Amino acid sequence: MPKPILKIALDVPLDRLFDYLSGGLHVQIGQRVLVPFGRRSQIGIVMGFADTSDFAIEKLKPITQAFADELPIDAQTLNLIKFSADYYQYPFGQALLSALPARLRQIAPAVSRKQFAYGLTALGQTIAVEKIPKRQMVTQRVFAALQASETLTEAELDAISSSARKAAKQLVAQGWASSQQVQATIKTLTMPPAIEPQLNDEQTLAVERITQEAQTFKAWLLHGITGSGKTEVYIRLMQHVLAEKDAQILVLVPEINLTPQLEARFRSRLPNYPLVSLHSNLSESERLHHWQLAQSGAAKIIIGTRLSIFTPLPNLKLIIIDEEHDSSYKQQDSMRYHARDIALVRAQRLKIPVVLGSATPALESWHNATANLNALQASKYGLLSLNQRAVTAAQLPMIECIDTTKVNLQHGLTPQLIAALKLRLARKEQSLLFINRRGYSPVLLCAACHWIAPCTRCSARLVVHLGQRKLRCHHCGHEQKIPLQCPSCGDADLHPTGHGTQRLEQTLAQLLPTARIARVDRDSISRKNALVEILDKVNNQEIDILVGTQMLAKGHDFPNLTLVGVIDTDSALHSPDFRASERLFAQLMQVAGRAGRADKAGQVIIQTQFPDHELFNALRTQDYVSYANALLLEREQVQFPPYVFTALIRAEANDFALVQAFLQHAFTLARSMTNAVLVYDPVRPQMERLKGMERGHVLLQATHRPALQHLLKPLVSQLRAHKVAAKVRWAVDVNPLEF
């Protein structure tokens, strides 16, 4: 006898399941259902069954609808999301529903693309094909095919005739056939794979080591310099794993900008294995379609951004995380999970390998791969190093730091960089200028009173976008017209100060009028496929100079690009954020790695006021290992991650008094509950106000992860019940990247 009460997860900010009656409908665990909730209806996921409820049976409502034609979410995926919600202190129902494609959160059947299947009706089954006039040859063939087969998809109809769909619709109109909407199928390429390059000794060793332990859980850190052929190692591993019947592989990438290039590589080398991508640039129907193909096992290779880690994959055998150090893998709102950490948990539960690839690994990963837990035990991760470029003739670029305090800048550019750009133009080679500021100028300054245009909603300055004659906040999106005179003193002498991508693009056009220049930042590639079009032009030698932000710093392979110029990165050298130097080193290593990847020598010119800084000294020798070890020693001395485990209780409200009251309560409560966790006084972050909200946080720190988790669960439960909690927007951030 089925149990009458259903336990259902809903997308509401309450950390509990809700009881409903089945209403005579047959449902399974993981199935999507429609339920009444208050005055509206809501999508929920069935999580279990029960005989009893905390509420009287007569007060329970029956579910409205069960979407029985969809595959239920499997137990492994549900358990993974439950673990994540518990670890990151987030309501399970919200975590579960947010992990699904948008179409599965809507009150409608989950049909991703409008494709129809046709079958004969009861009337049609009594009709002889001879009743169809002979002149309607296509209709006769379609009818005969329907008699021979239970259903025909549109693809199967197309194989009969280009007009077969029209004939099928005529049969539906006559009442002889019926149609229903079904899930679209996946297309595979039937083509010979591209030629395999020869592996060098380091690549061969990496592939052999991982494949030898492919049947068990093992975390591998693949540390390879830029251009060392990490992607080729991924492909060889994928070939090995996909040889197993029905095997699936999940490849995580930090940004959607890297997806098309990886897709193209994988499709050319692994053409017989169905591949789908999952990222926010897909339409809702595309994302649902790809997600369903992955869930059904039809897709064998899945490339996606961080949310893809929760995709149901029935035959997952390998996880690859490209650019594993990238902060994009950390979700910064809702459930603040880190996809890399969840991938490790998922791989461990499935007993499969996970490969973390990077030229500049996160210090946490480097520590796990190089630090012995004790004298008798090996490091947590296996370490594999690629120290030479995959293309034999390719050498690491020469890196030069120019002291900007000792030269006269021309529109923000040193004479050395301008000369290097002209040389590349003469040689018909390509250049990349990296500046991590979009817009025309980061500051609008009054020469008389030194007023700087502020954002009224954030503790930030407005950025000049000269082409649109606008001042814009890059944090909240606030826009206003550029004033004609200073609002503070009335002086009309207002100057854009500093450089952004737009100003740099304009400067280059003046200095090098014959150069073909393309700018790559969020403003210039907002249109779908805009970045792909620009990258195609670069590869087709239709662009001489690229100007861009960090989205150009990693993953891209431009054989004819031999010069990289770095403009103004000094602010990160003295940031109060303890991770700033780690991020800057990784960023500069990545962008430097775009130069000289083929047989032409590469050069990197960095403009800085601090050329003798230890970060630049390590960068010149491209010595990640020494720099990472030095940073780890500093972290250990001051007890920062990865030597301690942290969590932030963040709060924000229109009135800072409410934030202060809530955080003081959290501080007092946490202090009273444990001695094993260090609880710091409430403070304000560097960005005190964001999007009109006043902000603050409390930092929790422990030397052992379990101690922090044992405190957080009861603490969060009591904070939710506090009367001020409803008046502020607050969240728990476990293992925060910034504080």
3-class DSSP assignment, residue 158: helix
The answer to whether position 469 is within a domain reads: no
Ramachandran category for residue 351: left, alpha or beta (phi over 0 → left; psi -120 to 50 → alpha): left
Q: Do residues 228 and 366 both lie within one domain?
A: yes
If asked whether residues 618 and 658 sit together in one domain, one would say no
Whether residue 239 sits in one domain with residue 146? no
Digit-coded pLDDT (tens) for 180-200: 876 555 555 445 566 788 999
Task: Please indicate, yes or no, whether residues 508 and 381 belong to a single structural domain of this protein.
Answer: no
Give the side-chain half-sphere CA count within 13 A for 117: 12
Last residue of a domain, one of 323, 351, 386: 386
- Which of these ranges, 142-151, 162-171, 546-555, has the smallest mean pLDDT? 546-555
Non-local CB neighbours of 1 within 8 Å, separated by 6+ positions: none
Q: Do 89 and 120 reside in the same domain of the chain?
A: no
**Per-residue pLDDT tens over the stretch 243-281:** 999 999 999 999 887 777 788 889 889 988 999 999 988
Report which of residues 390 and 230 the model is more confident about: 230
What pLDDT is recorded for position 393? 52
Domain membership of residue 458 (yes or no) is: no
What φ, ψ does residue 515 adopt, rounded to 5°? -75, 140
Q: Are residues 542 and 627 in the same domain?
A: yes
Residue 664 belongs to a domain: yes
**CATH code, 25:** 3.40.1440.60
* Residues linked to residue 355 through DSSP beta bridges, in sequence order: 220, 320
Q: Which of 182, 214, 241 is the last residue of a domain?
A: 182
CA distance readout (Å), 57 to 19, 35, 38, 43: 9, 16, 17, 21
Render pLDDT for 358-369 as a digit per residue (tens, 0 to 9): 999 999 999 999
511 SS3 class: helix
Rg (CA), the chain: 29
| 541 part of a folded domain | yes
pLDDT averaged over the chain? 88
**Per-residue pLDDT at 330 exceeds 90:** yes
Question: Which CATH number characterizes residue 527's domain?
Answer: 3.40.50.300
Asked whether residue 223 falls in the same domain as residue 338, the answer is yes
Residue 548 confidence (pLDDT) above 90 = no
Asked if residue 651 has pLDDT above 90, the reply is: yes
My answer on whether 536 and 604 are in the same domain is yes
Q: Worst-scoring range by mean pLDDT, 90-104, 163-177, 372-386?
A: 372-386
**pTM (2 d.p.):** 0.85
User: What pLDDT does 502 receive?
Assistant: 83
- Residue 195 maps to a domain: no
Q: Is residue 189 part of a domain?
A: no
What is the per-residue pLDDT across 335-351, written as a single tens digit (0 to 9) for each?
999 999 999 999 999 99
CATH number at residue 684: 3.30.70.360
- Residue at a domain's end among 128, 152, 182: 182
For the chain, what percent of residues have pLDDT higher than 70? 93
What sign has the CA pseudo-torsion 487, 491, 492, 498?
negative
**Could you give the number of structural domains in the chain?**
5
Segment 649-661 shows an average pLDDT of: 96
- In percent, the amount of the chain with pLDDT more than 90 equals 51
- Shared domain for 405 and 553, answered yes or no, is yes
| Shared-domain flag, residues 435 and 548 | yes
Domain assignment of residue 490, yes or no: no
Domain that holds residue 122: 115-182
78 and 25 in a common domain? yes
pLDDT at 1: 47
Q: Is residue 482 part of a domain?
A: no
Please write the tens of the pLDDT for every residue from 428-470. 999 999 887 776 777 788 888 888 888 989 988 888 887 778 8
Q: How do residues 656-680 score in pLDDT, each as one tens digit?
A: 999 999 999 999 999 999 899 999 9
The better pLDDT of the pair 282, 302 is held by 302
User: Are both 76 and 128 inside the same structural domain?
Assistant: no
